[in-house]
Structures are given as structure tokens and as C-alpha cells.
Amino acid sequence: MNKMTVFAPDYYTGFRCIAGACRHSCCVGWEIDVDPDTAERYQTMDGALGEKLRRCVSMDPFPHFILSAGERCPFLTDQNLCEIILQAGEGLLCQICADHPRFRNYWSDRVEIGLGLACEEAARLILTSPHPLRLVPLSVETEEEAEIPSEEESALLRRRDQLLASVSETGPPARLREYLIYRHLADALYDGRVTERVRLVDRAFERIITAWDGRSVSDLIEIARAFSNEVEYDDEKLEQLLTAP
Ligand code: SF4
């Protein structure tokens, strides 16, 4: 059996967190859960960083960073840099911090990774990409065995390809629609709601484009980022977009 192949949009490998230059840091306003393995590691760390990690990570009811004033991560410095990375490197980040703003979709024979619009640097890369969405294989080793896709799954992939091929906008609005298709259609793998997810893409697109009203590309990036922040991580709001008449 072959291992799964990992695919990502071609702009993916160009992503770098802009850290201190970020105007909407993802380290502000989000209560971040710490995965159990990392939480256990934090419990056994030596030195001042270990002490602070134990002080600033609550284990109740599950491990998470205790936000400071202004809902800032307690490890975010005044220069908006991550104290954990500065002192110990990225290897000590918990899973969510290491992953953000990436998302993953698991098909039977491949894993697809993407960047989410909620991050302003990712939104800039996505919406200013000079050509239509292009998935490229990454040279990443996976443990998972590839399986033969079901007929339903192959049909979903064909539907997605059709939708991507029929994008009629140009420039950043086209990139936005492609992103929404790439981000949201694959969830039908888990719930089978293909038609609703196609509608969700249309509604999300209309909402962002209406708010944008043809202004500058940087306005579109900011409106799309704010939409993603508000809706794409909120199951209730996503459900409203899925089911709205
Ligand atoms: S939102 Fe994006 S660019 Fe800003 S701090 Fe987070 S990962 Fe970095």
C-alpha cells in the first residue's frame, strides 16, 4: 500500500508568520487549548520558562493558556513576539500554535493542507496569488496508508473541480471564491452536505464581496480576514450560513 500524498496550494510554502508586524495577531483574543502531550511537557520543564508555563497554563477543565489583560496570550511580548519561540524555539509550541493558520482535509488517498483567511498574511498570499488555485504535492512523509476513494468521494472531488473551473470572477475575487471552495467543500466528506456547502460558499462570497464594494485589494483582504475570524471558526455561524434560506 502507498502512503498518502500531501497537497497544498502553490503559495503555501511561501507562508511565514509576520509576527511583530502583524496588526491582528492570532495571539490576541483567542483562548488557546494546549494539547495533552505538550501540556505534559510543560509540566516537566525546568527554569523560569517552565515555571511561567505552569503558572500561565490552566489544566482546568482542560489545558489552555490563561489570557492576560486585553485578552493577550501571556507569552506575547510587548513587541508582539512569542516568548516561547524566543526562548525555546518553535519545537515547544503546542499543536494549535504550531498549526495556525493551516487547515487539513483528509481524503482516502491524500491529505490536503491549506492556509486559512483569518491570518492577515495568509489572506494576503491567498487573495493576491497571480493565478487560479493550483495544488502541488509537498515532499512531506505521512504515516497514513492511502486507500481507494469511494464513488461518493470521487464524485465530490469532481464537483469541486467543476466549481473551481467555473469561477467566473477575475483577480482577488476569483481567488476568494476558489479559497472558499477549497476550504469548505471537503467538509462534505464528513457530513455529506454537498449542496448546502456549495450554498455556503456562495453566501460567504456574496457577504464578503458586498461588504467590500469594489474598494482596494487591501480592503478586501481585511474584510475577508475579519469574516474568517468571525465565522470560519464558529460552528454556530457556519451552520447558519449552511442552512439560511
Ligand atoms: S495572524 Fe498570522 S501573521 Fe499574524 S501572528 Fe498569527 S500566524 Fe502570524
pLDDT of residue 140: 82
pTM: 0.93
Mean pLDDT of 215-244: 95
* Final residue before a domain boundary, out of 99, 116, 136: 99
| 127 and 232 part of one domain | yes
Name 57's Cβ contacts closer than 8 Å, sequence gap at least 6.
34, 39, 42, 63, 64, 65, 66
Mean pLDDT of 176-200: 96
pLDDT band at 245 (very low <50, low <70, confident <90, very high): confident
Nearest to 115 by CA among 21, 11, 44, 230: 11
Is residue 235's pLDDT more than 80? yes
pLDDT of residue 12: 97
pLDDT of residue 141: 79
pLDDT band at 111 (very low <50, low <70, confident <90, very high): very high
The answer to the question of residue 22 being in a domain is no
* Final residue before a domain boundary, out of 99, 130, 145: 99
Average predicted confidence (pLDDT) for the chain: 95
| 108 and 216 part of one domain | yes
Ligand 1 atom nearest residue 121's Cα: 3
Range of the domain at 155: 5-14+103-243
Ligand 1 atom nearest residue 101's Cα: 7
Could you give the CA distance from residue 137 to residue 28 in angstroms, rounded to a whole number? 33
The answer to the question of residue 224 being in a domain is yes
Q: What is the pLDDT of residues 2-38, one digit of tens each?
A: 889 999 999 999 999 999 999 999 999 988 999 999 9
Burial profile 154-187: b = 16 or more Cβ within 10 angstroms, e = fewer:
eebbebbeebbeebeeeebbbbbbbbbbbbbbbb
The answer to the question of residue 193 being in a domain is yes
Which residues have C-beta atoms less than 6 Å from ligand 1? 17-19, 22, 25-26, 100-101, 119-121
| 132 and 145 part of one domain | yes
Mean pLDDT of 59-77: 95
Ligand 1 atom nearest residue 118's Cα: 1
| 93 and 109 part of one domain | no
| 230 and 111 part of one domain | yes
CB 27 within 8 A of CB 76: yes
Name 148's Cβ contacts closer than 8 Å, sequence gap at least 6.
108, 109
Count of structural domains within the chain = 2
Is residue 139's pLDDT more than 90? no
Pocket test for ligand 1, best of 23, 75, 100 (most atoms within 8 A of CB): 100
| 133 and 181 part of one domain | yes
| 229 and 110 part of one domain | yes
Residue 55, class by beta-carbon neighbours within 10 Å (0-12 exposed, 13-18 middle, 19+ buried)?
A: exposed
| 91 and 50 part of one domain | yes
Mean pLDDT of 194-207: 97
